[in-house]
């Protein structure tokens, strides 16, 4: 084992974030308050397009709030992909609805749009595409299908800041809501956290109420008003999904660096593309011409006839002190989803094939050029 282990992912936290957190702690306001309001305003301004941003404590919470706000409930169906993390599907079950899983496109690794239309039933209420790895799904066609059938669209954009689709930033498309993740390995981080983005004032109002116990007024507004402000009403059985000001303090400065972070990620991806092109690999799908890939993940697949297996390559990289991962073990293989919905690999041939041949290489802004070259050398050595 190489004595210097290169992790799969690491956040880049600077002195600006640290100073903002310290100032927040000294301010006496550490839960949802002025920093969260600033982060929400900054995030909405970053995206543009007249959107409103609602900060939450995870993207999972954001997806739950968004689906609840668009009216998904018991007996409904929501179409999504099997090739995702379980959070995408579990929030559907939170609401008593059923996920309907479809395969992914071999060209994009995002949800297969043709499969969406075939999966629509009278119970279908919404479509939830996943922008896999930072490459936007085919949102033009998905939105057209949704309009044709009167369905809502909630985007799982956990990987997608700052990706674009048809020239528009994900988060500003003509969908009902978009949910971003700020988990530790994402393109910007707040440690834990997420953001619900929408243009619909009713969805925004509902998400704000439901993120904090169904209370009719934000705690910040109640506690800083100069007028008597102790009175509030519980208007729904809500959740505890608010983002703290400590997390928002980190997010404020991470967001300022988002474009620079993206440039570094894109440069690393381009170097991987160049150095690995002659190997028996299928390299990650790029964004369509004119669009931006956020490069949250760099996912490679072993080509047919490759001289080693996916698992052997992972083992080789770990022995060389290089962390890597697999995105994802599809939901049709996970015991709960498999047994609950009687899923088999044959139902999702593309996802199954991708899973069996895929691994994800390190890609994060703290990687030095020599770290990138070390990964490249280790991958190349595995094929020698």
Cα separation, 365 vs 266, whole angstroms: 10
In whole angstroms, what separates CA 315 from the centre of its chain? Answer: 27
What's the whole-model pTM score?
0.96
Mean of per-residue pLDDT scores for the chain: 96
Q: Is 307 exposed, middle or buried (0-12, 13-18, 19+ CB in 10 A)?
A: exposed
Task: Please give the structure tokens belonging to residue 200.
Answer: 């619909």
Q: Tens digit of pLDDT for each residue in 74-93?
A: 999 999 999 999 999 999 99
Q: Is 376 exposed, middle or buried (0-12, 13-18, 19+ CB in 10 A)?
A: middle
Contact 152, 158 (CB under 8 A): no
pLDDT at residue 222 greater than cutoff 60: no
Task: Please give the structure tokens belonging to residue 108.
Answer: 């994009």
Q: pLDDT grade, residue 384 (50/70/90)? A: confident
E strand or H helix at 276, and its extent? helix 258-276
Q: pLDDT grade, residue 230 (50/70/90)? A: confident
In this structure, the number of other CB atoms found within 10 A of the CB of residue 77 comes to: 20
Q: Annotated catalytic sites, by residue? A: 186
DSSP string spanning 224-263? H-SS------B-S---B-BPPHHHHHHHHHHHHTHHHHHH
pLDDT at residue 226 greater than cutoff 60: no
pLDDT at residue 1 greater than cutoff 90: no
Cα separation, 341 vs 333, whole angstroms: 11
Task: Please give the structure tokens belonging to residue 277.
Answer: 């092109």
Q: What is the Cα Rg of the chain in Å? A: 21
Q: Is 28 exposed, middle or buried (0-12, 13-18, 19+ CB in 10 A)?
A: exposed
Q: Tens digit of pLDDT for each residue in 233-275?
A: 999 999 999 999 999 999 999 999 999 999 999 999 999 999 9
The CATH number given to 259-383 is 3.90.1150.10
Region 66-80 average pLDDT: 98
376 in helix, strand or coil?
Answer: helix
pLDDT at residue 220 greater than cutoff 90: no
Q: pLDDT grade, residue 2 (50/70/90)? A: low
In this structure, the number of other CB atoms found within 10 A of the CB of residue 309 comes to: 12
Q: Where are the domains of the chain?
A: 15-256, 259-383
Main-chain phi, psi angles of 182, to 5 degrees: -120, 30
Cα separation, 150 vs 16, whole angstroms: 46
Q: List, in sequence order, every residue forming a beta bridge with 300; answer none if it has no partner.
A: 359
The predicted pLDDT at position 90 comes to 98
Burial 106-129 (b: 16+ CB within 10 A, else e): eebbbbbbebbbebbeeebbbbbb
Q: From 182, 189, 194, select the one nearest 366 (Cα to Cα).
A: 189
Q: 15-256 belongs to which CATH class? A: alpha beta
pLDDT at residue 11 greater than cutoff 80: yes
Strand 298-302 and strand 358-361: the pairing is: antiparallel
Strand 358-361 and strand 164-165: the pairing is: unpaired
Region 359-366 average pLDDT: 98
Is 259-383 the same fold as 15-256? no
Q: Tens digit of pLDDT for each residue in 300-322?
A: 999 999 999 999 999 999 999 99
Q: pLDDT grade, residue 225 (50/70/90)? A: low
Q: From 302, 320, 326, 308, select the one nearest 371 (Cα to Cα).
A: 320
54 in helix, strand or coil?
Answer: strand
What distances in angstroms separate CA 300 from CA 63, 82, 266, 283, one per listed residue? 28, 19, 15, 5
Cα separation, 351 vs 326, whole angstroms: 12
């Amino acid at each position: 084992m190489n004595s210097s282990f290169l992790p799969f992912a690491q956040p880049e936290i600077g002195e600006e974030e640290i100073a903002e957190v310290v100032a927040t702690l000294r301010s006496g306001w550490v839960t949802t308050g002025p920093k969260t309001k600033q982060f929400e305003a900054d995030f909405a301004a970053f995206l543009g397009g007249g959107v409103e941003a609602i900060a939450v404590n995870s993207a999972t919470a954001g997806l739950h709030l968004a689906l609840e706000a668009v009216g998904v409930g018991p007996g409904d169906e929501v179409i999504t992909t099997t090739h995702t993390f379980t959070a995408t599907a579990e929030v559907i079950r939170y609401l008593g609805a059923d996920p309907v899983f479809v395969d992914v496109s071999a060209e994009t690794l995002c949800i297969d749009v043709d499969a969406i239309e075939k999966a629509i039933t009278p119970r279908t209420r919404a479509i939830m595409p996943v922008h896999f790895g930072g490459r936007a799904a085919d949102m033009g066609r998905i939105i057209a299908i949704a309009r044709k059938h009167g369905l809502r669209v909630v985007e799982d954009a956990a990987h997608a800041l700052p990706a674009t689709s048809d020239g528009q930033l994900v988060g500003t498309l003509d969908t009902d809501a978009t949910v971003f993740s700020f988990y530790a390995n994402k393109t910007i981080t707040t440690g834990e956290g997420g953001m619900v983005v929408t243009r619909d004032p009713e969805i925004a109002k509902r998400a704000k109420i439901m993120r904090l116990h169904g209370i009719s007024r934000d705690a910040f507004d109640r506690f800083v008003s100069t007028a008597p402000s102790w009175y509030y009403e519980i208007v729904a059985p809500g959740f505890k999904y608010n983002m703290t000001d400590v997390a928002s303090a980190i997010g404020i400065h991470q967001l300022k660096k988002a474009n620079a972070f993206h440039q570094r990620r894109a440069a690393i991806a381009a170097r991987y593309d160049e150095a690995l092109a002659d190997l028996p690999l299928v390299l990650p799908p790029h964004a369509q011409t004119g669009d931006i890939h956020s490069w949250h993940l760099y996912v490679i697949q072993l080509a047919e006839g490759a001289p080693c297996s996916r698992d052997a390559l992972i083992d080789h990289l770990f022995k060389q002190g290089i962390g890597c991962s697999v995105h994802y073990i599809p939901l049709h293989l996970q015991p709960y989803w498999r047994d609950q919905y009687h899923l088999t690999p044959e139902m999702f041939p593309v996802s199954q094939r991708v899973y069996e041949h895929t691994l994800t290489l390190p890609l994060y802004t703290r990687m030095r050029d020599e770290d990138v070259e070390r990964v490249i050398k280790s991958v190349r050595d595995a094929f020698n």
